[in-house]
Structure 1
Amino acid sequence: MQPLKHKDTTLSSLSNLPQALQDRVRSELKSGESVMWAGQPNPNRFMRSGFKIWFFFIPWTAFSLFWIAGAAGFEMPHFDSGWSLFPLFGLPFLLVGIGGLSAPLWLRRRARFTVYVLTNRRAISIDGAKTITVKSYPASEIAGIERVERQDGSGDLILRTEYYRDSDGDRQTRQHGFFSIDEVRSVENLVEALLRNKQAPSQH
């Protein structure tokens, strides 16, 4: 098996990451494992995915506000009787709406603590500030690569698509991979080289 070479020196490497993330990546590496590429989501691109759910949460939040106002008789609550507390039952729904609308801000912050890594053995996604979630994708589990590329060369690299049924029995998909990364095509080339290297017969 030929060693996997990293020829594109313009790509992000481990040394480009903040020191804390470098240490986090090194702690996940196994004996004989080396980093071919490491990078983070572009914060501005990453947060834009959160705007998609605004189509749901804008009317949700508006309806919650309207319901609270209607329950209060479209007047300022005076709380001098038990019945005047009734509008407060709409607060949980309003808070859910506000939380949904703030998703882009949370995603932007999340991007700072997310790192994607490609080694000579697997792809790794490390996410989280205090509580860390590590997802590992060995070469044998990477299938049906899909690249979504934007005009500036950034994009998403889907390494695996999972199909499942939700609680209503509807078919859903869950995508795994590297999202909102720069130079997505070059990273795809590295992944394909990894797969070819793992499939090639060992040479002694």
Structure 2
Amino acid sequence: METSASSTAYGLTAALNGELAAGERLLWSASPDPRRLKAAFSMWLFAVPWTVFSLVWTGLAAAPWLSGPPNDAMGWGFGIAFPLFGIPFILVGLWMLNKPLHIRKEAASTIYGLTNRRLIRIILGKTRQTDFVQLDHMGPVSCLAAEEGWGTLTVQTGSHVDSDGDRVTDSFVIAGVPQVEKLRRLLIECLEKNHRE
């Protein structure tokens, strides 16, 4: 009987192979290990106090209503406005608390591939998301590897000016994958070969 994990892995591999164009060769592929994406949980260092403060603020603002409704118009105004003011902050806090869990769930449904033409990322979920960057659109490559060979590879793909007028570097990130150094070497070889042609 096929397990859910092996079924997902098979589906990811099939999706990656189905993405290849005529003459395109797959040189490397891997899926991230969700357990290795611990950095995502650093968000909780900010999210937990934010959410607790928002809940306390909203609770204290709503506390006077426990003793009955206010007697004057100003009391009604503040009594409604202050608790409502806290709700967006609570929602932002809940979103931040959920984000690392979402990242881990998405990682379990992700596969990366390096071909002789491009880097590909496919995420299977309710919808299929495919992102790729061609070799001739790649800039500097950086690699962060742990002792066991797992790590993150980042490829600069360009830059743009944000709404504040600041220049922002665009990048394609492959995170939490095994043999990341092998991927870096293969990618450098592909880039060098692409530049010679």
Relative to the length of structure 2, the TM-score reads 0.80
- 1:122 aligned onto 2:118: yes
The sequence identity of aligned pairs, in percent, is 34
- 1:20 aligned onto 2:11: yes
- Which residue identity lines up with residue 65 of structure 1 in the other structure? L
CA distance in 1, matches of 2:34, 2:161: 31
Q: Larger % of helix: which?
A: 2
Q: How big is the shift at 1:146?
A: 0.7
How many residue pairs were aligned? 185
Q: What is the aligned partner in structure 2 of residue 145 from structure 1?
A: 141
Cα gap change, 1:91 to 1:138, in 2 (>3 Å): same
Q: Which runs of 5+ in 2 are unaligned?
A: 1-5
Cα gap change, 1:197 to 1:78, in 2 (>3 Å): farther
CA distance in 2, matches of 1:77, 1:172: 50
Give the alignment partner of residue 102 of structure 1, picking from 98, 101, 123: 98
Where 2:41 maps in the other structure, the secondary structure is helix
CA contact (8 A) 2:151 2:175 kept: yes
Where 2:47 maps in the other structure, the secondary structure is helix
**Structure 1 residues 15-24 or 185-194, which shifts more?**
15-24
Give the alignment partner of residue 167 of structure 1, picking from 135, 150, 163: 163
CA distance in 2, matches of 1:172, 1:104: 24
Q: How big is the shift at 1:143?
A: 1.8
Q: Which runs of 5+ in 1 are unaligned?
A: 1-14
Q: What is the aligned partner in structure 2 of residue 44 from structure 1?
A: 35
Give the alignment partner of residue 62 of structure 2, picking from 67, 72, 96: 72
Q: What is the aligned partner in structure 2 of residue 30 from structure 1?
A: 21
Write the deviation string for residues 34-60 of structure 1: whole angstroms up to 9, x where unpaired. 2111111111122x2322333432332
CA contact (8 A) 2:139 2:158 kept: no
CA distance in 2, matches of 1:34, 1:17: 22
Where 2:21 maps in the other structure, the secondary structure is coil
Q: What is the aligned partner in structure 1 of residue 47 from structure 2?
A: 57
Root-mean-square deviation (Å): 2.7
Q: How big is the shift at 1:144?
A: 0.6
- Which residue identity lines up with residue 125 of structure 1 in the other structure? R
Cα gap change, 1:173 to 1:197, in 2 (>3 Å): closer
CA distance in 1, matches of 2:25, 2:7: 16
CA distance in 2, matches of 1:116, 1:76: 54
Write the deviation string for residues 4-41 of structure 1: whole angstroms up to 9, x where unpaired. xxxxxxxxxxx997221122112211011121111111
Write the deviation string for residues 159-195 of structure 1: whole angstroms up to 9, x where unpaired. 2254333333344344313111111111111111212
CA contact (8 A) 1:17 1:39 kept: no
Relative to the length of structure 1, the TM-score reads 0.77
